[in-house]
Chain A
């Protein structure tokens, strides 16, 4: 792990308090971490600990009530589509647009002309290996294909940072593993910085360099795990001793937190 790479995302004392019916709820408290250029960082934690809120704050979609998000050293106050793309669990493809048009959508918002948009969409489709589905509608594709289209769409504006909110959470185990490999392939080809939220400790360790572990009520970063597993990653790595040790460590951190949520976490292992 070389630490010479520049820092692209930094949070400083980030906090979020929701006031619902005058009773303030501390969703996130004192979140401070950094992500290096080209890094793959995962965030794990029990459900409802504020992972998604944190991601939306990193995307500039939700304002923080304390602290700051810095991207390239600049305070982020609103979405920065030239630098950051977001991908959600449900693919949120527009059902009335064809696959290629969906990939073009962020480019259309960015004001790119139609010819360039088409070329870019074609290139992205070939990157995710779905060129022959360009003229299909999202409902004609499987869940895994829709997520690949969603990745293609997120990459279309050529952002440097990809924020992914449980992108494979709704997929079956087999598709999920395939999508993990697919994502690593795309990551190594494009060199993007990826911030990845997941329920699955295995998925987090398998994909990333760094795993941030969150607790809930209030949502805090309780540990930063750098497992130092070799790349390229193969499925065999999951059976290795160092993988198991790292996973156990995260598991202990999370399960201390809350019994009900811990059992939920177990199910997604």
Chain B
């Protein structure tokens, strides 16, 4: 059953790409706006061998990772405090919910004004994208910790640290993993957006430049590459998420 479904899914993709190629060949699509997949593939190949592209790509990757590495731990700590301490939670969560309702992209011009167009601006913009979603999910994860199990662990003589390690951590892990995965995706969105708005380097700059110059082959190639890379990252984290939360799905299936 399963291999058959995969086969059908694969053939749908192949068919779509084939149809697209055909449309370009017979002149139904304008190749200067929608180039054929074969042309995009050629452009992709040359991009992977271009040092300029690799340099810009690594700038973007460094920004994404830096924002995540700095933002995620701070967010986890904040979210945990909000969940554990009623006073902290009550005072911060309305603020967080309000902030989440506002599209963060509108703050970009202000960020650029205050912080300039360098690394710091993109880093901080990325961190704000990671922070809120991870903090909110960490807070929600704390509320998932079953009180009965905490009481039980206490009755067996468990101290605070042991309760955090043996009850909180495993109970919270699945939701925290979801938060981190979303945080990383938001992070990528934020960094690319900041690069497209105004930057001296990065994939966002290249996309914008090629778009404005009608360099469509390269634009498409880079778009495909970024899509594939983000899908890959997302899937890896989803598999990890599934492992950490296997017991949880089993509970839901019951």
Contact = CB atoms under 8 A, between A and B. Distances in A.
User: Do A and B share a complex?
Assistant: yes
Interface of A: 56, 59-61, 79-82, 84-86, 88, 90, 92, 94-96, 105-106, 108-110, 137, 139-140, 157
B25 interface: no
B104 interface: no
B152 A81 contact: no
A84 B151 CA distance: 14
Interface in B138-161: 146, 148-149, 151-158
Interface in B146-181: 146, 148-149, 151-158, 162, 166-167, 170-171
Given A109-B158, A110-B157, A92 B248 contact: no
Contacts of B154: 61, 79
A90 B162 CA distance: 22
A186 B247 CA distance: 30
Given A79-B157, A105-B166, A109-B158, A92 B152 contact: yes
A110 B159 CA distance: 11
B157 A137 contact: no
Interface in B6-27: none
Contacts of B146: 92
Contacts of B167: 94
Given A61-B151, A92-B146, A109-B162, A79 B156 contact: yes
A56 B147 CA distance: 14
Given A94-B167, A96-B170, A137-B247, A109 B149 contact: no
A80 B170 CA distance: 25
Interface residues of B, number: 21
A92 B156 contact: no
Contacts of A82: 157
Contacts of A92: 146, 148-149, 152
Contact of A81 (B148, B149, B156, B166): B156
B247 A81 contact: no
Given A90-B148, A96-B247, A139 B158 contact: no
Given A56-B151, A81-B155, A105-B156, 11 more contacts: A79-B155, A80-B157, A81-B156, A84-B155, A86-B152, A88-B152, A106-B156, A109-B156, A109-B166, A110-B157, A139-B251
Contacts of A81: 155-157
A79 B247 CA distance: 29
B163 to A, nearest CB: 9
Contacts of A139: 247, 250-251, 254
Nearest to B167: A94
Contact of B156 (A88, A95, A110, A137): A110
B170 A109 contact: no
Nearest to A94: B149
A177 B153 CA distance: 28
Most buried by A among B153, B155, B157: B155
Contacts of A108: 166
A92 B148 CA distance: 6
B153 A95 contact: no
Contact of B157 (A94, A109, A140): A109
